[in-house]
A and B are shown apart, each in its own frame.
Chain A
Amino acid sequence: MDINGTKANVDFGQGVLREVNVSLVEAKVGEYVLVHAGYAITVIEEKEAKETLSLWNSILETSPE
């Protein structure tokens, strides 16, 4: 939600907000991060998530039985 140096306020959904250390990643406001024990360890790519889903669908539709 906002970033101040190494700390960012992260919206965990369902009203849960927490300060998270973002020094291990390059995150921008508005991006999704994966948080492990108070530290963001990776930025989750929404584009990749959508591509994964369409890749799965294509595998499942075309793979030989």
Chain B
Amino acid sequence: MAENLKFRNPAMAQNIASKIKNLASQTEKTKICHVCGTHEWTITHFGLRGLLPENVEVIAGPGCPVCIVPAAEIDEAVQIAQMGIVVTCFGDVLRVPGSKMSLLDAKAAGADVRIVYAVSDAVEMAKNEPQKQFVFFAVGFETTAPSTALEALGKPPRNFSFLVSHRLIPPAMELLLGVGDLQIDGFIAPGHVSAIIGLKPYELFPRVYRMPTVVAGFEPIDVLMSVYMIVKQHVEGKPRLENEYPRVVKPEGNLRALEMMRKAFTVTGGNWRGIGRLPDSALQLKESLADYDARLKYGVHVEQGKDILLGCECHLVIIGKIKPAQCPMFLTACTPEKPVGACMVSNEGTCRVWAKNVAVQS
């Protein structure tokens, strides 16, 4: 599509940037938080922060689904793999540190851990190798949860089960508002999560917290436009919910996907790495699907793990309190090749995004 290029048009970017600058001069500062690893990638990769005036800051919140999986749940996956069960997962989960080891370490020690592109690939494997037991480690926000739901409801083979570690984004956004010294002035809401959940879950942010909230896409112009819309709301003092990404996000979301999630999961409290326990922020399989719940099937339950290693500042990076470069380990003891913290592991992790685009940043 020729339109693709228009969403990256440099002249348009400059035009929006100067509009932002003019608007922002009417207010002391505007601090904007996004909650999506892909937004951080767009912002960092295209050097968008360099286009913004000094009094407009964009920080990265907990938007990396892999980074926030607590060590205890990695430990559960490792335990299952060590029982001789095939553990399947998305590629970026493999190196996330557990309390003692990652799934990659377990694999190196002989466990059968396999990367899949989609949960359906894992189900296929289980069908093709009926003599083995398979577990899919289901990590991710509302974007991947519907595919887990779909397969769980679709009568997977008996030798297949799920270790569900899905988390929900709106409760994490609400948490950020409670972190006193963050002092956020607006939210960029994640476009692809919103494609599933629609606009309704964000309504409380402008209404209850008077927080400008704009659902945005992932091209550079999308992000700049959302910054412009938030600064405008902030200057006008009229917080509201706007959708910058209507080509993908419908107000009602994806009803079919939401229905699948409602049928397969109950919402429960869950731990987030570096953050702690958030009420109503995690999904677990319904009782009717208990046969497919790997925790029950194999009796694994790790209450607490070691989330943050000594010296690692992931817990501050995850909530946007510090920038990766402010961590003493960043690109010294902790690198993309040998990550110490979860934020350096995933392509959506803030530290890794910064490490890979450091030339653009500096």
Contact with A along B206-238 (1 / 0, CB 8 A): 000000000000000100010000001000000
Contact A34:B248 (CB < 8 A) given known A39-B146, A41-B146: yes
> Whole-angstrom distance between the alpha carbons of A52 and B246 in the complex?
7
Given contacts A21-B150, A53-B6, A60-B16, contact A38 B1 (CB under 8 A): no
Category for how many chain A residues contact B: 20 to 34
CB distance from A56 to the nearest CB of B (A): 6
A34/B147 in contact, CB under 8 A: no
Name the one of B3, B119, B256 contacting A49, with C-beta atoms under 8 angstroms: B3
Q: Mark A8-44, 1 if CB is under 8 A from B, else 0.
A: 0000000000000101111000001010111101101
Residue of B nearest to A32 (CB): B1
Main secondary structure of the interface of B (DSSP, over half): helix
Inter-subunit contact B118/A52 (CB<8 Å): no
- B-chain residues with CB within 8 Å of residue A44 when the two chains form the complex: 247-248
25 A-B interface contacts by CB (under 8 A)? A21-B147, A23-B256, A24-B147, A24-B254, A24-B256, A26-B256, A34-B195, A34-B248, A36-B147, A36-B192, A37-B117, A37-B119, A38-B117, A38-B119, A38-B121, A39-B118, A42-B196, A42-B248, A48-B247, A49-B1, A49-B247, A52-B244, A52-B247, A65-B19, A65-B22
Residues of B within 8 A of A (CB): 1, 3, 6-7, 12, 15-16, 19, 22, 90, 117-121, 140, 143-144, 146-147, 150, 192, 195-196, 221, 225, 232, 244-250, 254, 256-257, 260
Contacts from A to B (Cβ < 8 Å): 21, 23-26, 32, 34, 36-39, 41-42, 44-46, 48-53, 56, 60, 63, 65
**For the complex of A and B, 9 pairs with smallest distance between CB atoms:** A38-B118, A48-B247, A49-B247, A39-B147, A42-B195, A24-B257, A36-B143, A65-B22, A37-B118
